[in-house]
Structures are given as C-alpha cells and as structure tokens.
C-alpha cells in the first residue's frame, strides 16, 4: 500500500540483527542486478558490528555472537516479489501477510522440525516449525500440506500451498516468528540459527 510517509505503493523492508541494521541483499533470496553474496568476510563484519552494538546495550558480546552464529541465507516463505502487510503485534497482527496466488508453494525459511500440521477455524490449515534455540515459525491459511507433525524439514523445502482457509479474505500466507514464545519480527528473528 502507500500508508505513512510514502510517494506511492511500495514495501519498505529492513533487517535488523541485535539492533544492527543489515543489508537485506546479503540474507534474502533477492537476485536482482545488485544482488550481493554473503561472503565469510562480510559475515564477520556484520557479526563484529552486531557484537559492538550488543555490548553497548549492556548485552554481552557472547550473546551478540551467539545470535549470529551460523547465519545463512534467509529464504522468504513464498516466491518473491510478494506483497506484504506489516508486522504489528500491538494492533493484533503478530506476523506478516505475504500476498500470493492460490497454489503457490510455501517454503520453510530454515531447517526445523514440524511440531504442528493441522487445521484451526482462525488459522486455517497451518504448520508450525521448531528451529531450535527457542525459535518457531508458523505458516497459516494454506490450501494443503505436504508435511506432518514430527517430520524434519530443510530450508527451502515445500511445506504446502498458499490458500485462503480459516479466517481469510483471500489467498495469502500469514507468517509468524516467535522467539521463546513471544512474537518476533521476521527481519530479525529469522536470522537466528540455533
């Protein structure tokens, strides 16, 4: 949309790790002409900056390093370029809605174990993944599933297909991330490896 300070329809997307603004091109599946590869040198630079910021916020450097341990390519849960509505837990929307056509593939954003693959009147057909370290992701309103509870999945594995099940006004994917049970913003939490 074009709410807030904007000159037209657009999606402003930022990624933060421990309060450090990072360049999304290094972590997303973006493959435009200015795409950037996450080299070890760049990962070390981002880690050092995050540790400096964490230390200045009275968090130990070890905590900062642990949060970025094993950072890998972050996969969007649907093929780009999706249209999204924002993460706004204060107003009852603790996730991100990705607009996509019905039947579009839904991907695991990282390796994990399926803890729930079920149907709910509100969420519709949905999947919850446990990624370890207290990080969970949830994928809602799906048309159908290809996974079941207890199954291990790998990053980019197809979990099922976009639908409009449950309390939904049209085909889309509602995506949530939780850290230690609390709603968390995709742009930061999805980078936590373990």
Q: What is the pLDDT of residues 133-161, one digit of tens each?
A: 888 999 999 999 999 999 999 988 999 99
More confident residue, 73 or 37: 37
CA dist., res. 185 & res. 88, Å (int) = 9
CA dist., res. 36 & res. 23, Å (int) = 9
CA dist., res. 122 & res. 58, Å (int) = 40
Question: Rounded to whole angstroms, what are the CA distances from 76 to 54, 90, 122, 193?
Answer: 26, 24, 23, 15
More confident residue, 136 or 13: 136
Specify whether the CB–CB gap between 69 and 193 falls below 8 A: yes
pLDDT higher than threshold 50 for residue 58:
no
CA dist., res. 180 & res. 44, Å (int) = 26
**What mean pLDDT, rounded, does the chain reach?**
75
Q: Read off the pTM.
A: 0.60
List pLDDT tens digits, range 175-190: 988 888 888 775 544 3
Least Cα distance to 142 among 162, 114, 159 occurs for: 162
- Write down the domain spans for the chain: 15-67, 83-183
pLDDT higher than threshold 80 for residue 79:
no
H-helix or E-strand containing 53?
helix 40-56
pLDDT higher than threshold 90 for residue 120:
yes
The whole-number pLDDT of residue 122 equals: 94
* Helix extents (H) in 126-189: 186-189
Least Cα distance to 184 among 109, 101, 82, 103 occurs for: 109
pLDDT higher than threshold 60 for residue 3:
yes
pLDDT higher than threshold 70 for residue 46:
no
Share of the chain above pLDDT 70, in %: 61
Least Cα distance to 181 among 128, 139, 125 occurs for: 128
List pLDDT tens digits, range 99-112: 888 999 999 988 89
CA dist., res. 126 & res. 132, Å (int) = 19
pLDDT higher than threshold 80 for residue 65:
no
The whole-number pLDDT of residue 52 equals: 59
Taking domain 83-183, whether its CATH number is 2.70.70.10 is answered by yes
pLDDT higher than threshold 70 for residue 20:
no
CA dist., res. 167 & res. 188, Å (int) = 27
Share of the chain above pLDDT 90, in %: 30
Question: Rounded to whole angstroms, what are the CA distances from 19 to 94, 131, 138?
Answer: 19, 21, 23
The whole-number pLDDT of residue 12 equals: 76
């Amino acid at each position: 949309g074009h709410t807030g300070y904007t000159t037209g329809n657009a999606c402003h997307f930022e990624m933060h790790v421990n309060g450090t603004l990072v360049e999304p091109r290094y972590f997303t599946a973006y493959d435009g002409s200015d795409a950037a590869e996450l080299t070890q040198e760049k990962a070390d630079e981002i880690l050092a900056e995050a540790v400096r910021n964490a230390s200045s916020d009275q968090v130990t450097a070890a905590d900062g390093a642990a949060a970025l341990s094993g950072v890998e390519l972050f996969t969007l849960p649907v093929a780009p370029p999706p249209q999204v509505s924002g993460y706004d837990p204060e107003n009852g929307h603790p996730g991100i809605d990705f607009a996509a056509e019905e039947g579009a593939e839904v991907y695991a954003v990282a390796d994990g174990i399926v803890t729930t693959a079920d149907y709910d009147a509100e969420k519709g057909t949905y999947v919850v993944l446990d990624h370890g370290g207290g990080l969970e992701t949830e994928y809602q309103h799906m048309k159908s599933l290809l996974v079941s509870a207890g199954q291990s999945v790998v990053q980019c594995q197809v979990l099922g297909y976009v639908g409009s099940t449950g309390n939904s006004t049209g085909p889309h994917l509602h995506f949530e991330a939780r850290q230690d049970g609390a709603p968390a913003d995709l742009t930061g939490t999805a980078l936590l490896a373990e």
